[in-house]
């Protein structure tokens, strides 16, 4: 569903549309968020021992922080 939204946003960008930048920014942001979610999902498939869980939590936190960088406002 989100891929459809990204496709729609990109397909409906026109030179005459005053929201051109907003549509592009929205599509880029959606794709970045989806990529981060996929990385987090992939991290959580595997062994469940205590050491792995700590590393997984740290990596998840880093992915979230990197994705939200500059988006604290």
Dihedral angle sign, alpha carbons of residues 66, 71, 31, 48 = positive
pTM: 0.65
Contact 9, 27 (CB under 8 A): yes
Q: Within 13 Å of residue 62, how many CA atoms lie on the same side as its CB?
A: 8
Tokens of 67: 């994705």
Residue recorded with tokens 């869980």: 53
Contact 6, 31 (CB under 8 A): yes
Please write the tens of the pLDDT for every residue from 24-69: 788 888 889 999 999 988 888 777 777 777 888 889 999 999 998 8
């Amino acid at each position: 569903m989100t891929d459809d939204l990204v496709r729609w946003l990109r397909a409906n960008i026109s030179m005459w549309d005053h929201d051109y930048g907003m549509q592009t920014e929205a599509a880029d942001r959606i794709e970045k968020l989806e990529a981060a979610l996929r990385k987090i999902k992939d991290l959580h498939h595997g062994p469940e021992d205590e050491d792995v869980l700590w590393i997984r939590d740290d990596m998840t936190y880093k992915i979230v922080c990197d994705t939200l960088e500059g988006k604290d406002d």
